Each structure stands twice: as structure tokens, then as C-alpha cells.
Structure 1
Amino acid sequence: MSPDPDSPSADLHSAPDDHPAPARRAMRLGALARRAAIDTRPLSEPAYRRLWIGQAVSFAGFALTSVAISVQVYDLTKSSFWVGLLGPANLIPLIVFGLWGGAVADAMDRRRLLILASLITWASTLGLLVQALLHLRNVPLIIGLVVVQAVGVAVSSPTRGAVIPRLLPVELVPAANTLNFTASQVATFAGPVLAGVVIGHGGYAMAYGIDATLFTVGLYATVRLPSMPPLGDETGRPGLRSVIEGLRFLATRPVLMMSFVVDIIAMAVAMPRALFPEVAETRFGGEEAVGWLIAAIAVGAVIGGLLSGWIGRIRRQGVALIAVIAAWGLAVAAAGLAHSLWLAVLFLALGGAADLVSAVFRQTILQTYAPDEMRGRLQGVFTVVVAGGPRLGDLRAGALGAAVGATASWVGGGLACAALVVLVGLAVPSFRRYTTDR
């Protein structure tokens, strides 16, 4: 039987014998490149394509605004304490309304909820624009608007995650998550760079105005979504009882629970971000190195996303998730031992690539394993873990660094992460055996 000309094996092995050797090698390399490149098939679905474009564009604006807020607050107060208050102003609403928003997403039309949450975020951005245009110089007002913005983000994040499996067939969910996380990492890297240029030339009002304009793209994509009413029995007014039901469901599903546990291990145990300023000063020669260390993880994640075509072909996602988080920990440890800035950046970039793959697997397991009537609440837990894990990591790294030194805290955290995630994975056989065709 002749091979299917559209199959990967045909690309790799069935080049005609009359082609010269260089041409055959080029054809094989081309086939391998196509298999490695990011899977863009989800973009053929119009609703998802609009949602992805809107999310990517609005996230860039959000990153721009986040920097502008910090700079403006410091400019008004000359106090890092006030800038530090922006952390809890963001985190507390994300924790509270992330859980509540996930419960609401299971009880009402997700399109309608996403529109309402987006309007809250948009209104807060317009408020920031107005206060900048009027030169109000009111720091409590700015922090209040940050809280409102965080509420909108907290509700929309779990809702958007619960929407994806309703728009696409299950086999395309990993590719969709890869596209989402890659776009967010591009924005994370590009937003601060853009902020420096915009604030320097146009001021805070221009930064907030660009964000508000970009956000309209995301709002338009949300409005164009199809109606998505609840599929299960969950209706009525969600509250604490609904949230607790979601947490109880999570506690009875080891596979889902482990997808959160391993992420907390990855971020809380290994994240070295709080140590970057000290290591940059003592080992790499100054403040400029901090920017490279921070950017390295995001750049590595983007490159990992662009070379992620293989992710959707992984069936044993439980084992794969354990492996990539262990790789993240080892890469972090290696970066902590490096005495060359560029070697540290390289290892952190490798860690960033592993972290992106980890995020894709965790999100995919959550979206495909959980029933639709529970997806919103579990996505709310996902939002809380993603928001809180790195901050716990900052606390751990900083406290341990002060006690035993930056290098011991950095390297020890990476090694402990790799060892702990393997031990925990071995202790939960159902997670270790989890496959996409369960």
C-alpha cells in the first residue's frame, strides 16, 4: 500500500529517489519544522480566532497599563510603599472574585458574564484615563480603580478558560491553550518595553488611552461569541455554597488536584524572581542585568510556544507534566549556579519554555477532565493558583535568601522543586497514569 501523501511519514520518508541528496535533506528538515511549529489549527474556528486576537491585543494593553500605574504612583508619592500596595490591590480581588466568578460562570450564560466582566475592566481603564487627563493626582483613587480592574479580570479569567472547550473539539484544546499562553508571554515581554516609550513621549494618559483602545478589540470578540448557557443542573444565584461544592469536587479528583499541586510546587518552591536584584548587583555587575533576568523567562516561553507543535501529540499528560516541571526546576538551579549573565539567561529561558509547556498541560487537563458544569469553578481555582503561586515564590526566595544567601535560596529552590514534583507524582498513580484518552 502506498503511503498517504498528506501524512507526516510521507513528508519524512517518501521523497522520490530521483531527488538529489541535498533536496531530500531539505524536504526532511521542512517536514520536521512543520511538525515542530506551533499548531494554529484552532484559529480556523472564527469564534476562537476572534477571541484569541482580542485577548492577545487587550493583554498587551493591560501589560502597558500595569507598568504605567506603577510609574505614576511612584511619580506622585516618591514612595515604594505605595507602589507595593498595588500588589494586594490586585491579588486580593483575584483570590476572592476568581473563586466567585468561576461559580457564576457555571450558573449563567458564559458569553453574558464575559461581556459584563469585560465592561468592568474597560470602565476601570477609562477611569484611569480620565484621572490622568484631569491631572487629579489622587493615589487612593488610582488604587481604587486598580481594585475594580482586578475584579473584572478575576471574573473574566475563569470564564474565558471555561469557554474554550465549548468552542473547539477536545483534540484542539492543547493547541488553543498554547496559542493563548504564547500570546500572553509576548505581551508580558513587549508591554513593559512599549510602556517605557509611550510614557516617555506621551505620558500616562496616552498609555491608558492605548489600553482602552486595544481593549475594544477584545470586547468586540466577546460580543461576537455564541450564547453558552449552563449545560448541567447548576442554575440560580451562585454563592459560597457553590464555591465549596467546586472545592469538594476538586478534592475527590486526584488528577485535577495534582494539576494544581504541581503548579504550586513549581512556583512557590522554585521561582527565583525576588533574588534577581541582589544577584544582578553582586554577580552580574548592576541593574541592567535585572531586566535580562526578568525577560529571559518570558522570552523562553515565547520560543517554546513557537516550537510547540509536538504538545498536542502527547497522550500521557500526567507524566509529561511531572517531567516538564522537573525540567523547570533543574533549569532554574543551573541558572543560579551560572557566573555568566548570558548563561543564566539561557538557562532561565529554557526554564521559561518548560513553564509554558507546563501551563498548557495543566490548563488542558483541567478543561478536558472536568465536566462542563464544574469548569468555571475549577478555572476560578486555577486563576487563584496562577496569581498566588509566584507571589508565594517571591516570599520564599526572599526570606530564604536573607537567611542562607541568594545562591543557596536560588539553587536549592530549583533542586527542591525537581525532587519534590517527582516524589509527589510517584505518590499519586492515577495522575502518573493519566492519558488524554482516559
Structure 2
Amino acid sequence: MIRKVTVADARFPLEGDAGSDAIHRDPIYSYAVAQLHDDSGLVGSGFAFTLGEGNDLVCKAAEYYGRALQGKDIEEVMANFGALFLQLSNDQQFRWLGPHKGVVHLALASVTNACYDLWAKKRGVPLWKLLIDLSPEQIVSTLDLSYLEDELTAAQAIELLKGQQLTKESRMPILEQGYPGYDTSIGWFNYSDELVRENCKKALAEGFTAMKLKVGSADPQRDIRRAHIVREVAGPDVKVMLDANQQWNLPQAIAICNKLKGIDPYWVEEPTHPDDVNAHATLAKAIAPIKLALGEHVPNKIIFKNYLQSGSASFIQVDAVRVGGVSEFIAVSLLCKKYGVPVVPHVGDMGQLHQHLVLFNHIAMGHEALFLEHIPHLQKHFVNPAQIIGGVYKTPQVPGSSCDLLILNN
């Protein structure tokens, strides 16, 4: 039984210019951490990601949601978690602050993720194993599919998952092979050209076959020059992604993306405002065959549904510490499977939680095991940091979701 819920404001200043992009020049990687203390002695840890200011507001909202869990058994909570998620996300007063976005939704993510962590710990298995061992009916019972019924009903979601059961065993070798990663830290926005060049060489030496550069400079020529540096060092066979972090308006995005075609980018990420579905649809047509990736700042399943309906997104980067947590992440993944669009999460969790979720996506849902973003900057702060060897995420074996922080476990 969950006897108490505690919330912590954890902030980690970064060294040098790490984490910088065209919009967020001086980030402080921060977590609003919810902890569910079970009377068995186990503690479920979950969090939402912010860049510093306002993290305390998310913590305050998480305390409010957490009170609904006190006195309940985690198996009772998770048996029909979708209904509880719907109830909490539609709280008659808190909902006004969203709905389903912003501080309140981040707070719900923190509490939701703690529930999944405690559930896996209580069963004594890593989260990926808990999820792939659940039946389609059990998975769908953890989801809130409200407002998705025009695209995906509960019955349809169950049938989609059942359809993948027949070939599930053929995808199990990923557990031994490990899940491919890509290096997103070669080219933070404030890095010098020379540091970008050296980081590309280092990433190749470490076994990465895909890497990402931050773009969105006031002078587009800087972006073009740096993109050519990456392509020159990486060679023609490495996937190179470009991330503008919402910096451009639509005319700028069209003009600059077309100039960047020369480096053959695998995708351009977050080219313009994340709420502007129509602009992305226009852009996708204007810069084809360049593909768009988005989702880092998309807050909920409804807007993801709109992006999929528009046909503008070739890669969906849903982040379980940005949307309402693991439950909403899975709902979005199911939508993407229906549309045949790959899920390549943004990792506000530094890949700790998502290394479990991409294994579930691949094994139980049949998503392609494309790759998972790797950001190394907070590894030293986790009790069980993600292991990336030879550019590949090694399958975690410790019970839970790998989200325990050292500062809260000493």
C-alpha cells in the first residue's frame, strides 16, 4: 500500500555550453520528482523534465495529484490506470490550468511515471519486461484514449496489439543485441565549429552511426557551415539530423531547409512553433524529400493525433516526461503504429525511462527499432545509469524504470 507521497525539486546545472540550443541558451536540466513510498519498503520514482525556472510549480502540482494515491495498493491503481488518469487529468479545478498541457500535465507525468516504476519494482522486474508480458487487454486498461475515438478506440487498440503477438518472439533478440542509440551532444548550439568537429570524430569512435546538430542561428550561413562540417566528418553513410528547436517562422524554415538539402539530413527537427500543425504540413510539402521530426514540445495525445492526421510528421518524438507519462506515451505510440510512423522519443529523462519504452514499442507493438537519443550529461546522477556501449543501449536488468536519482536515495 502507498503510505505516503513525497515530491522533490532536483536541479542540475550543466558544464560548459552543454544543452544549449537556438531557443534555450542557458538551460538547467531539472526534474520534478514524485516518490511513492510503499509499505513494503519500496519507493516508486517518476519525474517530469524542465529547464529550471518553474520546476517548483510542477512539484507543487505533483503534490496535489499524489494525494489521490495515498492508501491505495499499486496493483489496484494499475489495474484500471486509464480511468484514474482520465479522472486526474480532468480534475474540475486543475484542468482549467491546462487542459492536458503545461505545469499541471508535467506534474501528472511525474506521478504517473512513479506509478509505473513502483509497479515494476513490486513485481520484481524491469519496466520493459512488465510491459511486454502484459496482455493487450491489460495494456489498454492502463490507457486513457478519450478524444482519440475518431482514430483509435479501446477495441481497436486491443486488436492492434493482438495482431503483433503473432510475431512478438521474432523481435525478442533486441534484448540481447541492445537498442541502437544516436548522439545528440556533438553539436550543442553554443559549441565552436572545432568542438563540433572533434565531437563528431569522438562519436564515430564510440560506435554511433547517427548524430544530431543544433541549428537555428541568426545567420543561416553558420548553420549551413556547421552542417557541412558534420557531414564531412561523418561521411555519407552516417545519419545526420538537424534540430532548430522551434526557432524559425514558416518562410524562414522553407528557405533554410532547402539550403540544407546539400548535406542530406535524415530529418529536420522542430523547425517552427510546435502548436502550428498547418505550418508543418505546408513545410513538409515545400521541402520534400527532407522529412520532419517533432514532438519534444507537443504536450498531449490530441495534438499528436492532429500531426498524424496532417501527414506532416515522418518521425514522432513523444517524450514520457513531457506528455502525461508512460500511459500517454503508449497511447501515442499506438496511434503512430496505426499510421505507420516511427516513434523516436525525445529523452528529457536522459534515456533512463525511454530505454524501457522503446523495447516495449518494438517487441509488443512492432515498431521499427530505429534508434534512441543519447544525452550523457546527467548519467552520474542516476542510481542505475543507462549503459551505452558501442553506440548501443544495453538492456536494463534492475527492477523498475531506471529513474532513481542518487541525491534522493542516499
State the TM-score bracket (shorter-chain normalisation): under 0.3
Larger helix fraction of residues: 1
Larger C-alpha radius of gyration, 1 or 2?
1
TM-score normalised to structure 1 length: 0.24
TM-score normalised to structure 2 length: 0.25
